[in-house]
Amino acid sequence: YYFPCQRWLAVEEDDGQIVRELVPVDEAFVKKDPANEGQSPATLGLEQKAKSTTYTVKVKTGDKKNAGTDANVFITLYGSKDDTGIVSLKASKINKNKFERGKVDEFTVESVDIGDLKKIKIGHDNKGNSTGWFLEWVEIDAPSLGQCLKFPCGRWLDKSEDDGAIARIIFPAELQTVEYIPFVPYEITVYTSDIFGAGTDADVFIVLYGSDGICTQQKSLCLNKREQRMYFERNSVNQFIVELEDVGDIIEKIRIGHNGAGVNSGWHLNRVKIRRLLPNGK
């Protein structure tokens, strides 16, 4: 079995995860075979993304006295087929200090297919100075499934409050479930020109347009400012696997640009290449 990764396991890199689930791939992807020259690591990334589910997990800490926690928080997602195992919520995309009073934190959880999401378990290890936590709710969005579920809690996870539990199993509120058209993964390769001053540190975004006026949301290609500094350098090729709305089999045009922020934000773009897997897997 071959389990390629080619991703960071680091709080300050990529999506902040320090544990990853990997799916096995054909041996041809790993061993360089002249007959399979077209199967690049990028192809692999696109296929792996199509086999996995990325969840955006939002966590709301209650607006009560001492509601925040310094403990290490974990979550497990339980589906109809499987569960994610224990996932540490280490890198909030919104706040440097996580789980503060009245704040919403956002995390990324990636997993192989666990089926329809049925319940979650969330809790903490009770370590640190201020451990007690009042959890208002958890919201889990799975673009590839076209579903966003709300898990209301409104209780303490504190050994000296409520029933003393520091972990709880929570079920989704059916009336608050939002369904939409599922997203699909796209492989976007961006080529920056080889001329003086071609690179940019600005926030680069893209929009894809299909037939019949269908288009995706505007999506930033970089996850953070550090990636903005690393990517889009002169004469560079940068590849991104992103989930966006399905615009159909034909992409009629794209809109790509940046926010103009930073020193020397001007960018000389050479070309963009986009691939996606069609429903038959090609």
d(CA 224, CA 14): 8
Question: Is residue 105 within 8 Å of residue 56, measured between CB atoms?
Answer: no
DSSP 267: -
Closest CA relative to residue 135, chosen from 173, 109, 170? 170
Structure tokens at 68: 């925040």
d(CA 266, CA 205): 14
Topology of the domain covering 53-179? Lipoxygenase-1 (2.60.60)
- CA 63 from chain centre, in angstroms, equals 27
Predicted local confidence at residue 51, as pLDDT? 79
pLDDT block averages, 10 residues each, the chain of length 282: 82 81 70 47 68 91 93 94 90 88 92 90 92 95 92 94 92 92 91 95 94 90 86 93 90 94 90 84 52
pTM confidence score: 0.78
Superfamily name with CATH number, domain 2-38+182-276? PLAT/LH2 domain (2.60.60.20)
Predicted local confidence at residue 41, as pLDDT? 52
Predicted local confidence at residue 13, as pLDDT? 80
Query: Where in the chain are all domains bearing CATH 2.60.60.20?
Result: 2-38+182-276, 53-179
Question: Is residue 219 within 8 Å of residue 242, measured between CB atoms?
Answer: yes
